[in-house]
Chains A and B, each alone.
Chain A
Amino acid sequence: MSANKSDAATPAQHAVTGTPSGSLHRPSELAPTVDVSGLIDAASGLVDRAVFTDQAVYRQELRRIFAPSWLFLAHEDQFHKPGDFFTTYMGEDPVIVSMDKQRRVHAILNSCRHRGARVCRADFGNTKNFVCSYHGWGYDLEGSLVSVPFENEYPETFRKSDWGLVEVPRVESYSGLIFGTWNPDPEPLVEALGGMAWYMDAMLDRDPEGTVVVGGVNKWVLDGNWKLAAEQFATDWYHVNMSHASALMVMSPDGKPRDEIINRPGRQFHDPKGHGAGFPVSPKARFDDQAVHKWTDYDALRARLGDARVEGPLTTGHATVFPNFSYLPVNGSIRVWHPKGPDKMEVWTWTILDKSMPDHVRESQRLYNLRTFGPSGIFEQDDGENWSEAQAVAHGFVTNNVALNYQMGIGTEKEDGTYPGVTTSLYSDAAGRSFYRRWQELMGTPAWHEGSDS
């Protein structure tokens, strides 16, 4: 349903949201379009640092990357009964994801239609209505406006049905993961995932019963452009040996440097839609906690997912679903890099587990993830430090004019007959080049609300 129904008599509607706009007309100077074609040279593996620092580029990302793309919202396990809700962001837009009385999960813009405050300030919970604490406009679980204090003071033309919360027009799930998009006519989610879905299944489809969320959502703020994190999870095993050297020593079974950690065979996949995943290839590559190892039935996994997936993307890999959803299959860590201006991001992470796992295995996996990729995890801290370091100097005039190198593995992209789609070796920038090629493509494409030739 739409929260913004209008009949033929209704005058102007806003191009982005379909909401009444009267004679409002935003001048185009407020939304200038930057030609970014010269900021990415994917063929040569060069990226202009302005993509990480420029405010106009960032504003355009909100309009042309985040508004039209499928964005991760929540896991289905967060909604069990009517009124269950979770608040998150799509780009910088606050949204409420909730289960209505028909047990349908949908998403609505968390901003009152009256003066714009959020109508839900809680992180998650269960409620009957969403009521703005400013003047008391009250909305039901579907976002319809149902209560306006002093409604009789409004003109006769005022109709509550015109003033429901703006609904995210499309919400779809893939294997328990809920995505939404502001684009009213997008390609279906599964098509947008493209070749990435096969790799995602190595985490989401291990268990016939699916996955569940354990614990709460961890959130922290980092200095750094959101793309630094997103591209790394798509393309960057390279940093592991250097950045995580101390953590790898802690994880080493005998506490000694081991060649198989450093010289790790593996593949890296990239999809033309901008998604990417890298993974060691080895039957014994999993770093899992022992309790998880003992519980896991590898023969059953091989029968279910095939040898290639069990030995590859089910191992200690990394992955990004374009633009800003990433995951680590072995840890069950899924995360969103929420953009907060060109220089800042919020990291939101969930831990998901196979539903069949008994309690002691769940607890073991939860703690394993907390130790490695929780907010103070021994790996996570290394990553955040790198992103913030790169961002800290990126605004320097000379610094900002020096192109960055994404040339690793150029020319090695191929179909290897084992892993579907185009892959390279594990140590490669190919998925990074693909990520920025897709970014460049979308940044140069008018979004649905801009018309076809603006």
Chain B
Amino acid sequence: MIRWSCRATRRLLESHHDGELPMEARASIQNHLRQCPSCSGERHRLRQVGVELRAAVSDHAAG
């Protein structure tokens, strides 16, 4: 498995988050995320955008 730097991880983090990367790259990024609190925090913030946006849309639809 290739060892990923933070820079490489950040570049592909959004595609990874969206499930758009091939299996090998996905595994390498997951490995990096397990070891890097900074990148894993970035991933968490990316995830929160989707979570909060869906909640906002749902609230708006409910009135």
Q: Tell whether A pairs with B.
A: no
B residues engaging A (CB < 8 A)? none
